[in-house]
Amino acid sequence: MRLMTEQNPLTSPDKLQLPAIQLPQLKALMTAWGKPTFRAKQIIDWCNKGILKPDEMKNIPGDVRDKLSNETLCEPLTLIRRECSQDGTRKYVFALKRGRFAGKMVESVFIPEEKRGTVCISSQVGCVLDCPFCHTGTQGFEANLSAGEIIAQVLAIKADLRNEPLTAQNSDGEALHSDITHIVYMGMGEPMANETSVHESILLLMDEEKLNISRRRITVSTSGLTPQIERLGDVHPVNLAISLHSAIDEKRNTLVPINRKHPLQDLRQCLNAYPVGKQRHITLEYVLLKGINDQSEDLDALIQFVNPERERVNLIQFNVFPGSPYNGSSKQHMREFAQQLISKGIRATVRRSRGDDIMAACGQLKANTKAD
């Protein structure tokens, strides 16, 4: 039985985090506390509903609740603020509670559509990388999230959606999905630079006793750390999205500076080797920046780069943030760019921007002060 050493309350100042405990570990904890092991399943069931406060776990006796409160970190995040967009998108700002990281903030977003509800989660406070078109990138790096903190975002949103279901509808008056069906690691941070916690969190998301989310409904977005992508493919071949943004090395060196370390040729080999299931694709994300990566040479390079059998291009509208040094291409230009790709047999979509009235759209997440 492995009680994660890093978080074991007996060996580390960091407490074991309740959302990151799997059933066998919780059973072992119950046995160590002299309690019946069936309590473990009851506690996990509460957690799966998003209820992490022992006081609210009605069928758990007081002494077990006290032990949970004293010996584990039950709620690794505090909800600081929730903002609701007119389109139903909800943005959540959470503060960490752990040791020297207490008070640092991360953001998560719930994006409802007609047939799915997607949670966009953060993996770091700030980001280790510094792509100049990204608000998170301008914040600098502050902390890696633990697996418990990653999962706690999903659980808190689950609880919120149950307490207050969505009322928003789409423009045709259809109801939007009010539960979580998909997870994307597209919030703050570079997931592949926080590999251990991200792998552990994927396991917890997929665990049948816990959230039981299929790996086909989990997407990791990365700027292209190739060794880590290879390991992800070996261990947890979830859906992969790559922040490409240019298929020309000189331009990508500026837009996605990790390209200097892992240039397009390496990325190409890595993508060729990544396991992709039948009917599935790797997504290449491409933010269109006016006059920067939206010219004909950019289009030609992109057409050359993409493997249409295994990859599709998702064109993203640039989301402006205060002080951002770029302008987005016009909607018309984006449509034309997409059409050109499609005419070459490449699957290309233009991503609808969601929640930009509450700064919840891609690349707009940045939460480092309580006032912002």
Where does this chain bind ligand SF4 (CB under 6 A)?
127, 129-131, 134, 136-137, 189-190, 223, 243
**Residue 368 and residue 139 in contact, taking contact as beta carbons nearer than 8 Å:** yes
Q: Is 190 assigned a catalytic role? A: no
CB 306, min distance to ligand SAH, A: 16
Query: Is position 195 an interface residue for ligand SAH (rule: CB under 6 A)?
Result: no
Residue keyed to tokens 């990544």: 274
* Spatial distance between the Cα atoms of 116 and 92, rounded to a whole number of angstroms: 19
Residue 193 interacting entry, from ligand SAH, ligand SF4, none, C-beta within 5 to 8 Å by type:
none
- Which residues between 28 and 57 bind ligand SAH (CB under 6 A)? none
Cα maximum dimension of the chain = 69
Binding segment toward ligand SAH, per CB under 6 A, in 63-71, 128-136, 199-207, 263-271: 128-136
Active site residue 362: yes
What number of residues does the chain have? 372
Q: Considering the rule CB under 6 A, would residue 142 count as an interface residue with ligand SAH? A: no
Q: Interface with ligand SAH includes 367 (CB under 6 A)?
A: no
Q: What CA–CA distance (Å, rounded) separates 223 from 140? A: 16
Rounded to the nearest whole angstrom, what is the least distance from the CB of residue 99 to ligand SAH in the complex?
25
Residue number with the shortest CB distance to ligand SAH? Answer: 363
Closest CB 312 distance from ligand SAH, rounded Å: 14
Q: In the set 222, 239, 259, 329, which binds ligand SAH (CB under 6 A)? A: 222
Residue 126 touching ligand SAH (CB under 6 A): no
For position 133 contacting ligand SAH by CB under 6 A, the verdict is yes
What is the nearest approach in angstroms of ligand SF4 to the Cβ of residue 251? 15
From the list ligand SF4, ligand SAH, none, partner contacted by residue 318 (C-beta under 5 to 8 A by kind): ligand SAH
**Catalytic hit among 47, 74, 75, 107:** 107
60 or 244, CB closer to ligand SAH?
Answer: 244
Taking CB under 6 A as the criterion, the residue among 60, 264, 362, 367 binding ligand SAH is 362
The interface region with ligand SAH, picked from 6-14, 82-90, 109-117, 132-140 by CB under 6 A, is 132-140
Site residues (vs ligand SAH, CB under 6 A): 133-135, 186, 190, 221-223, 243, 285, 287, 316, 318-319, 362-363
**Active-site positions?**
107, 362
